[in-house]
Amino acid sequence: MTTAVETPRSARRDAEPPLDIARIRVDFPILARRIGDRPLVYLDSAATSQKPLQVLDAVDHYYRTSNANVHRGVHTLGNEATDVFEQARVRVARFIDAPDPSGVVFLRNTTEALNLVASSYAREMLQPGDRVVLTEMEHHSNLVPWQLAAERRGLELAFIPVLADGSLDMERARALISGGPTKLVSLAHQSNVLGTVNPVREIARLAHDNGALVCLDAAQSVPHMPVSVRDLDCDFLAFSGHKMVGPMGVGVLWARPELLERMPPFLGGGSMILRVELERSSWNTVPHKFEAGTPDVASAAGLAAACDYLDAIGLDRIHAHEQALVEHMISMLDEIGGITVYGPRDLAVHGGAVSFNVADVHPHDVGTIVDREGVAVRAGHHCCQPLMHRLDVAATARASVYLYTTHDEVDALGAALHEVKRVFGV
């Protein structure tokens, strides 16, 4: 089995050498693909990342050697599978600097994790009239679950506006969070459309000073920068394995264990119970109370391998690499001309996703033409329809980078966009 050598997060240095991208790319077999007669240029990692051999091997190894159901068997394979699953929990806790693995709940993805909070916490534990503060840049996964909770529980939803530079209106945030009935603030750590990295530490401080909790949608941050739940001082954190070089099918909700203790179960069934009678049941300890049914053990094993892989390279180096690529990409888009770029110009608060439009060409047409050149970008509303409304567009094209993306690939996007302009005469 191929394994990455692990570097403890605490051992990372401040001034990191640049990544050896050529070496990293060898680990990702799919990057050798061709699209027609062109090499694949994968600029859609914000939708899902590609997977290294180390992760593929971990999944394969689990199925070949230890596959069994967990928390049930007295037999050797059952115990091994349980060990793999629980060790993955410990590994993920370490990855996000969580003090206690019992705060790590394995779910399918970020969407399910946020639904759990909106359902078990907000819908059951907040009172009618309580306010939940969100932002205008939320992904539908951090919006629709709160709408459902608000409808069923009589909660008030309030929204921090997005300013023209792609940042949050912090003055309005302070007004909404301080005083009044705000009980929870739930927001994206990094926007999947604008690339904005939000000041979540400051927002957590504001919320806590006012007796409210903070839930972070970390789908676009945990894969791309060091994230410490202790340092951010959040109460809930949701992310997906598939965006962080891990497999699809596994995601994480981290929550303060004392909150999980107080929250009612999300789904009912096997594994989440202690004792069941015909009329009533009692619940298992946390986090098992929130893990009903057979979990995706192989994907959890793959996620642990993904944590090893990313930590061995260093999340701060990955973040620095992405910022260099984004700087290059934005100046290239500006130079091409006729392209509107959305999101912050301040690289200090910019992650690895860049949204843009080419004159009045529909983003789907942009996506189709650049695909002919081998370049994969995403086009559409990116599950952020209210943000599209705020930007006054129906859709955008979006290029997103990761640890395996090269400067040449950004240049390939530029060449493909020249082709778009040629075809549409803009």
Comparing CB distances to ligand C6P, the nearer of 130 and 138 is: 138
Q: Is residue 82 a contact residue for ligand C6P (CB under 6 A)?
A: no
Q: How many C-beta atoms surround the C-beta of residue 319 within 10 A?
A: 19
- Residue 54 lies near ligand C6P (rule: CB under 6 A): no
Strands (E), 140-227: 156-160, 182-188, 213-217
Longest dimension (CA), the chain: 71
Complex with ligand C6P: residue 19 or 253, whichever CB lies closer: 253
Site for ligand C6P in 189-218 (CB under 6 A): 192, 217
C-alpha–C-alpha distance, residues 66 and 84, integer Å:
9
Q: Could you tell me the smallest distance in angstroms from the CB atom of residue 141 to ligand C6P?
A: 4
Binding residue (CB under 6 A) for ligand C6P from 370, 378, 397, 402? 378
Per rule CB under 6 A, is residue 51 in the interface with ligand C6P? no
Contact stretch for ligand C6P (CB under 6 A) within 308-316, 356-364, 375-383, 407-415: 375-383
Q: Can residue 46 be called a binding residue for ligand C6P (CB under 6 A)?
A: yes
Give the C-alpha distances (Å, rounded to integers) separating 48 from 116, 130, 233, 249. Answer: 22, 35, 27, 12
Q: How many residues bind ligand C6P (CB under 6 A)?
A: 17
Q: Which two tokens stand for residue 274?
A: 């202690």
Considering only residues 256 through 315, tell me which ones interact with ligand C6P, judged by CB under 6 A.
none
Tell me the closest approach of the beta carbon of residue 226 to ligand C6P, in angstroms.
18
x/- site string to ligand C6P, residues 142 to 161, per CB under 6 A? x-------------------
What's the min distance (Å) between Cβ of 398 and ligand C6P? 7
Minimum CB–partner distance for residue 43 and ligand C6P (Å): 12
100 to each of 57, 116, 155, 257, 284, how far by Cα in Å?
28, 20, 31, 8, 17
Tell me whether residue 340 or residue 385 sits nearer to ligand C6P (CB atom): 385
Rule CB under 6 A: say whether 383 interacts with ligand C6P.
yes
219 near ligand C6P, judged by CB under 6 A:
yes
- Among residues 360, 423, 405, 315, the alpha carbon closest in space to that of 16 is found at 315
Q: Are 333 and 366 in contact (CB under 8 A)?
A: no
Token duo for residue 91: 């590994």
Our finding on whether 220 is near ligand C6P (CB under 6 A) is yes
Told to check if 109 binds ligand C6P by CB under 6 A, we report yes
What is the C-alpha to C-alpha distance for residues 404 and 119, in angstroms, rounded to an integer? Answer: 37
Determine, following the binding rule CB under 6 A, whether residue 350 of this chain makes contact with ligand C6P: no
Q: C-beta of 53: minimal distance to ligand C6P in Å?
A: 22
355 binds ligand C6P (CB under 6 A): no
Query: What is the nearest approach in angstroms of ligand C6P to the Cβ of residue 142?
Result: 6
| CA-closest candidate to residue 185, choices 159, 149, 154, 152 | 159
- Residue 334 token pair: 């500006």
Does residue number 141 form part of the binding site for ligand C6P (CB under 6 A)? yes
From residue 178, how far is each of 9, 79, 262 by CA, in Å? 35, 49, 25
**By CB under 6 A, residue 139 contacts ligand C6P:** yes
Closest to ligand C6P by CB, 110 vs 284, is: 110
Q: Name which of 19 and 116 has its Cβ closer to ligand C6P.
A: 116
| Catalytic entry in 215, 234, 383, 384 | 383
Question: CA torsion angle for 276, 281, 285, 286 (degrees, to 10)?
Answer: 130
Residue from the set 49, 82, 111, 135 that interacts with ligand C6P by CB under 6 A? 111
Asked if residue 322 binds ligand C6P (CB under 6 A), the reply is no
User: Looking at residue 190, what DSSP letter applies?
Assistant: B
Answer for the pair 105, 254: CB distance below 8 angstroms, yes or no. yes
Shortest approach of ligand C6P to residue 353 CB, angstroms? 8
Q: How far is the CB of 285 from ligand C6P (least distance, A)?
A: 26
Burial of 48 (0-12, 13-18, 19+ CB in 10 A): middle
> Treating both helix axes as pointing N-terminal to C-terminal, what angle do 315-336 and 407-424 enclose, rounded to 10 degrees?
30
User: Of 103-111, 125-133, 173-181, 279-287, which part binds ligand C6P (CB under 6 A)?
Assistant: 103-111
What's the rounded Cα separation, in Å, for the pair 413 and 183? 44
Written as one letter, the residue type at 328 is H
Can 383 be counted among the known catalytic residues? yes
- For 197-235, give one letter per residue: b (16+ CB within 10 A) or e: bbebeebbebbbeeebbbbbbbbbbbbbbbbebeebebb
Q: Which residues are catalytic?
A: 383
- Residues in touch with ligand C6P (CB under 6 A): 46-47, 109-111, 139, 141-142, 188, 192, 217, 219-220, 240, 378, 382-383
